[in-house]
Amino acid sequence: MKCILFAYTDWYLYNFRRSLAVALREKGHEILLVSPPGPYGEKLQSLGFRWIAAPMERTSLNPLRELALLSWLWRLMRKERPDVVHSFTIKCAVYGGLVGRLVKAGRVNAVTGMGYVFISPSLKAQLLRPLLRLLMRAALGGDRASLILQNADDVQLFERARLIPLEQIRLVRSSGVDCSRFLPPNDERAPDGGPLRIVLAARMLWDKGVGEFVEAARLLKSEGRQLRFVLAGVPDPGNPAAIAEETLLGWQAEGLVEWLGHVADMPTLLAGADIVVLPSYREGLPKSLIEAAACARPLITTDVPGCREVVTHGVDGLLVPVRDGEALAKAIARLQDAPALARRLGEAARERALAEFDERVVIEQTLAAYYEIVNERK
């Protein structure tokens, strides 16, 4: 079986789909990785993978540039003749799905969250939605096609919008986490071990709830609570919701947060956290939360699609209302004041990560979608 994995950044392929590529290679399948150019392409090549840089700009709306990209993809797929094209996120799913349909390849499209066009209330996003729905119907439907979604809310959304028949939707929760790499810390913090570390690890976007995180920090610090608020991640220049670097540095100068920027060693960062927070407005299924769960960290997140797939309130974490910094602050204070509760939630989160989100389970479900399409062709 020959597979093309097509993603919107080389970083995404390296950090989120490398294990899938390794599993495919170990099973004797041929793999080609495709994304816009970037430094992680060389890292993928150093691991022995074929990687090709696509002439793609994520935020481009230039018709000529987009037609050129479609033409490039068509020539690539005509040359490679893949059995399966697996495209990730909405833009790649639309383009990969359309071209894959033209060359009669099997198509697995993974939409990990609804993205800026569906989340943002901006006029630009509202104008783009009807066109995007039409393109998605054409790209996602047809024979030998499956759509992988990461949470039940998105399954219902796609079913109501009639973007694809329900029988072609596969629910695969997350891209998986290596639970042998993300481990609980060897020892728990002593009662007098200093301020608790509250960590938010994500791209620095407003719709990740970074503003609410800072608001909670301001409220709790004004109460005199001994807490360290840590932001890990960088702004995403290709996303309209990106937070300016000057704003992040301003919060740090004010003493509200510590901004670490890009963090390569996520297992160490998350295992060293006392509480991991993600007050996002909507997710597919957030990897940072399941990585923190694997580290047995207590979780606080918002009661929105994707996030509530990871946390059951009071069982393996706490849920708070979206866009509510005060509620987030109260949840953090609750766990600070009840360390036994925080420990219990963290242990339950680890058990759930092992049972539902281990990457071996996710890879097995993804390969099943591939084999189903290939067998359908035969």
Give per-residue pLDDT as tens, 320-367.
Answer: 999 999 999 999 999 999 999 999 999 999 999 999 999 999 999 999
pLDDT tens readout for residues 191-248? 456 899 999 999 999 999 999 999 999 999 999 999 999 999 999 887 889 999 999 9
> Distances from the Cα of 170 to the Cαs of 121, 158, 214, in angstroms?
28, 12, 37
Assigned CATH for 2-176+358-377? 3.40.50.2000
**Is CATH 3.30.70.100 correct for 196-357?**
no
What's the CA gap between 169 and 283, in Å, rounded?
18
User: In 10 A of CB 231, how many CB atoms?
Assistant: 27
pTM attached to this predicted model = 0.85
Determine what percent of the chain is predicted with pLDDT higher than 70. Answer: 95
Instruction: Name every residue whose Cβ is closer than 8 Å to that of residue 74 and which is 6 or more positions away in sequence.
Output: 99, 102, 103
Mean pLDDT, the chain, as a whole number? 92
pLDDT digits 0-9 by tens, 239-289: 889 999 999 999 999 999 999 999 999 999 999 999 999 999 999 899 999
Model pLDDT, residue 53: 98
C-alpha 367/C-alpha 24 separation (Å) is: 8
Give the DSSP H/E element, type plus range, for residue 85.
strand 84-88
**Helix or strand or coil: residue 131?**
helix
3-class secondary-structure state, position 44? helix
Q: pLDDT over 90 for what percent of the chain?
A: 79
Residue 115 has pLDDT above 60, yes or no: no
For residue 113, is pLDDT > 70?
no
Q: Domain-by-domain residue ranges, the chain?
A: 2-176+358-377, 196-357
Banded model confidence at residue 104, pLDDT cuts 50, 70, 90: very high
